Structure 1
């Protein structure tokens, strides 16, 4: 994750990890939709903002216990695309370490 390109997402990741969320995550795309519903349940929407979740729903560690923060849509979606692109060729079950760099 690139701090300079996606500063709000990067800050959320750093804060969530600092609060005890894991930095090593397990890819599990098959159950992402259910985890996304669990993580966003009860979190209100805000005009012009996305609900960013960490760990992201594509990882087994996401879901009900995820940290959720409102951030700009461009930052959230760009960061999600960045993580997704880096994991694209990795199969489910692969463990990856999320690290914020500049």
Structure 2
């Protein structure tokens, strides 16, 4: 999905910032659990007048929920972008994987939200006992050419040989 960064600059800046911090750029649509994901991701994040608490990965993504990156985004930008995403993904079913690509966005600073109570940092998941897909890359150059960056352990395309620092994220951008 090519997200219009010039139309929703604050949300696009947050998406880019979250991905740079290691959040996955791929969203597996999971609308049925969106309310639960949103509640978990926003737990301990205070509201702020005039702003929405934007989460990435989004609540409608299986990757969303506890530990999602949160930023304060002006309500008009956040709600417009949410509506745009909802309309563009309307025809896709749960389980569909969507790669987010920000077009025309300008990375600016975002107001980072912090939780009111400290939370334990989640550990990278343990390696799966069996591969979840047949996506295999010879090296990160090949993965990047295919649009794969920051591939998390357990996601299609992840391989220990691509994870130089063994932190659970291969081909880090």
* TM-score bracket relative to the smaller structure: over 0.9
How many aligned positions are there? 102
Q: Partners of 2:35 and 2:96 in 1: how far apart?
A: 19
Deviating more after overlay: 77-86 vs 57-66: 77-86
2:25 corresponds to 1:23? yes
Residue 97 of structure 1 is matched in structure 2 by 99
Q: Partners of 2:21 and 2:8 in 1: how far apart?
A: 20
Residue 68 of structure 1 is matched in structure 2 by 70
Runs of 4+ in structure 1 off by over 2 angstroms are none
* Structure with more relative contact order (C-alpha pairs < 8 Å, separation 6 or more): 1
RMSD: 0.6
- Residue segments in structure 1 that go unaligned for 5+ positions in a row: none
More helix by share: 1
Deviations 1:28-85 (A, max 9, x none): 0000000000000000000111000001000000000100001100100111111111
Q: Partners of 1:98 and 1:85 in 2: how far apart?
A: 15
With structure 1 as the length reference, what TM-score do the two structures score?
Answer: 0.98
Structure whose alpha-carbon radius of gyration is higher: 2
With structure 2 as the length reference, what TM-score do the two structures score?
Answer: 0.58
Q: Partners of 2:27 and 2:48 in 1: how far apart?
A: 28
